[in-house]
Amino acid sequence: MATILDKIFADKKYELDDTQRAVSLSQLKDKIRLCSPTLDVRKALDSGSPRKTRIVAEVKPRSPFKGELRKGCDPLEIARIYAENGAAAISVLTEKKYFGGNLDLFAGARKAVNVPLLRKDFIFADYQVYESRASGADMFLLIATWLEKNQLQDLLSLGRELGLPALVETHHEKDLEKAFLSGADLIGINNRDLTTGKTDLGIARRLIKMAQADPRNILVCESGIHAREDVEEFEGLGARAFLVGESLMTARDIPAKLKELLGEARSHG
């Protein structure tokens, strides 16, 4: 039985056919030649010493599990708020059907802020990596649960050729093994099961230890981070950064919530 993740990737494949007809790969390569160098993602996400919390704040208009997250929001204004209030990087959803994003939104965010941008989408083809770089991304997402090891490795390698690192998202031990074998060093541990929408912080509690096998790895804890106490717990286990979307998108006061997560202030949501 097909999961929601299978459906999203199937729809993305169908959409990609139209996209490639509208903009050729050679056109993307021409555009890349005019792009500025990417911002330093490792520097942005590696807190070093003394420790400073790093938040990758996500612009996420809606989700297939919870629907619209912030009624009538201006995604570009939210990106600016994130950048002005301490986000180390910003994740922008570019998947349209299920998450309400698009590449025009991403391009707008690139003009609006000067922090590293993660293109968060369901990427499985070389074309999408070129498309990410041409759109001004500083990093892009690869979902290990869905990609085969060789496919993951090839996409990682292409990204490196373009100066574009990939955040390889994992959810269980097999994903981590796949990420290691593919040479990933920027590893996301997603507490949300993308096939069901269920979130379990026990995932990160279990996998962070395994992901620390190579001290050069930068570990990003994703999903289910709602309070400063969550951040402190996972920093203590070894997480370097946190990708936070719904907690920020649904907060009454986004700046206050972001500062709370950063440990700079307290918020009531």
Which residues are marked as active site? 58, 60, 120, 169, 190, 222-223
Other Cβ atoms closer than 10 A to 73: 17
Dihedrals phi, psi of 219, to nearest 5 degrees: -100, 125
* Nearest partner of 20 among 154, 141, 131, judged by Cα: 131
Q: How many CA atoms lie within 13 A of 64 on its CB side?
A: 18
Q: How far is CA 191 from CA 179, 227, 256, 262, in A?
A: 16, 15, 24, 20
Q: How far is CA 207 from CA 152, 190, 194, 213, 232, in A?
A: 19, 10, 17, 11, 17
Dihedrals phi, psi of 210, to nearest 5 degrees: -65, -40
Residue type, 62: R
* Nearest partner of 44 among 242, 252, 182, judged by Cα: 242
* Nearest partner of 211 among 187, 194, 244, judged by Cα: 187
